[in-house]
């Protein structure tokens, strides 16, 4: 067993099942996450309430009588899937280093349909992006890569060079720590390689004043509010001058092929968010579940119809 598991081993399936044996134990855990400083009524702001015996996981405000379910307005809002299944799915997703497909999750949880497993996973992926998360800072390597994606109307060979035809263009950034180790990362799909697009990614994902390292791509010229150092690659392999962002891209592509047998443009950002979540918590598997469940109560509900209506390839 790798040495890291000595200090960062997540709960076993048996221990996890004992920790959350039923829906009530899960609901109490969610209540503690949602109201960390005590109950607060979303209607009147009252701080006193009692749990109703007639309605599952529901608290009634003592001041105004408003009833609030612990899952209301979260990614689990109105879900017919038992909370124990939600929790086990989050545990599997957060503790497994490579992730899991919807088909595998359906089998492991004994869910009745692939659609249910798919929806559950995508809602968990939405929760992997923390609202108001801190942007990257310090020295940040930024670069682009592509993943094949061809529609019926596009040429079999795809576009050549930097043409986005037949490809999904992905831009990424990785923090460089003081000892030259990689820190946090960010990944996003973009429509093209234009200056406004790539500089927009930097502005959205890095603190102003950060030192941005790029290759010789002229689209980054004029990057305002940042210290910018372009590196001319020439005949030198790109991974020599910018090793960590290329390591991120390499790991991303292997992960996409190994777990999902390739990504599609439809929902690709969700999969990128999952990869970012995993990378940024690669040294904290034990606490990843707690973090993921805490984020589920911060994300708003999204219906299946809205999820499947996202942009497609």
As a whole number, mean pLDDT of residues 60-65 equals 94
As a whole number, mean pLDDT of residues 237-254 equals 87
| 26 CB burial (10 A radius; 0-12, 13-18, 19+) | buried
Q: Please indicate whether residue 244 or residue 127 has the higher confidence score (pLDDT).
A: 244
CB 172 within 8 A of CB 248: yes
> pLDDT band for position 136 (50/70/90)?
very high
Could you tell me if residue 78 is left (phi over 0), alpha (psi between -120 and 50 degrees) or otherwise beta?
left
Residue ranges covered by each domain of the chain: 139-265
Q: Write down the pLDDT at residue 312.
A: 42
Q: Please indicate whether residue 295 or residue 177 has the higher confidence score (pLDDT).
A: 177
Residue 154 pLDDT more than 60? Answer: no
**Alpha-carbon span 48 to 66, nearest angstrom:** 11
Instruction: Tell me whether strands 49-51 and 58-61 are parallel, antiparallel or unpaired.
Output: antiparallel
Q: Write down the pLDDT at residue 143.
A: 95
pLDDT in tens, 262-291: 787 888 999 999 999 999 988 877 788 888
Q: Write down the pLDDT at residue 10.
A: 80
Residue 313 pLDDT more than 50? Answer: no
**Alpha-carbon span 280 to 183, nearest angstrom:** 7
pTM value is 0.85
Residue 311 pLDDT more than 50? Answer: no
Q: Write down the pLDDT at residue 81.
A: 92
Identify the helix (H) or strand (E) that includes residue 144: strand 139-148
As a whole number, mean pLDDT of residues 206-227 equals 93
Torsion of CA 65, 69, 74, 77, to 10 degrees: -120
**Alpha-carbon span 238 to 230, nearest angstrom:** 12
**Alpha-carbon span 48 to 149, nearest angstrom:** 54
Most confident among 1-10, 35-44, 134-143, 236-245 (mean pLDDT): 134-143
Length of the chain: 313
> pLDDT band for position 162 (50/70/90)?
low
**Alpha-carbon span 113 to 105, nearest angstrom:** 10
CB 213 within 8 A of CB 242: yes
**Domain 139-265 classification at class level:** alpha beta
Average pLDDT for the chain: 85
As a whole number, mean pLDDT of residues 225-239 equals 79
Longest alpha-carbon distance in the chain: 71
Identify the helix (H) or strand (E) that includes residue 23: helix 23-34
Q: What is the DSSP letter of 250?
A: H
Q: What are phi and psi of 178, to 5 degrees?
A: -60, -35
> pLDDT band for position 214 (50/70/90)?
very high
Q: Write down the pLDDT at residue 1.
A: 45
């Amino acid at each position: 067993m790798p040495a890291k598991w000595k200090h960062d081993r997540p709960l076993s399936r048996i221990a996890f099942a004992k920790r959350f044996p039923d829906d009530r134990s899960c609901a109490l855990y969610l209540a503690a996450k949602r109201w960390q400083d005590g109950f607060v009524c979303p209607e009147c702001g009252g701080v006193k309430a009692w749990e109703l015996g007639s309605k599952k996981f529901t608290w009634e405000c003592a001041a105004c009588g408003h009833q609030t379910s612990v899952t209301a307005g979260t990614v689990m809002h109105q879900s017919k899937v038992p909370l124990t299944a939600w929790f086990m799915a989050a545990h599997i997703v957060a503790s497994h280093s490579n992730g899991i497909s919807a088909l595998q999750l359906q089998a492991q949880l004994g869910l009745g349909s692939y659609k249910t497993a798919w929806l559950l996973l995508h809602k968990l992926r939405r929760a992997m992006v923390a609202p108001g998360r801190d942007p990257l800072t310090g020295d940040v390597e930024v670069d682009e890569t592509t993943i094949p994606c061809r529609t019926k109307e596009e040429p079999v060979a795809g576009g050549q060079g930097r043409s986005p035809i037949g490809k999904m263009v992905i831009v990424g950034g990785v923090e460089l720590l003081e000892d030259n180790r990689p820190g946090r990362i960010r990944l996003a799909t973009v429509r093209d390689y234009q200056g406004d697009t790539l500089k927009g990614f930097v502005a959205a994902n890095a603190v102003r004043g950060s030192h941005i390292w790029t290759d010789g791509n002229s689209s980054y010229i004029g990057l305002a509010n940042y210290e910018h150092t372009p590196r001319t690659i020439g005949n030198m392999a790109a991974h020599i001058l910018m090793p960590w962002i290329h390591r991120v891209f390499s790991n991303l592509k292997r992960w996409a092929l190994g777990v999902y047998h390739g990504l599609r443009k439809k929902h690709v950002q969700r999969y990128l968010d999952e990869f970012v979540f995993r990378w940024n918590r690669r040294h904290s598997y034990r606490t990843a579940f707690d973090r993921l469940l805490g984020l589920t109560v911060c994300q708003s509900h999204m219906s299946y119809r809205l999820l499947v209506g996202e942009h497609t390839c």
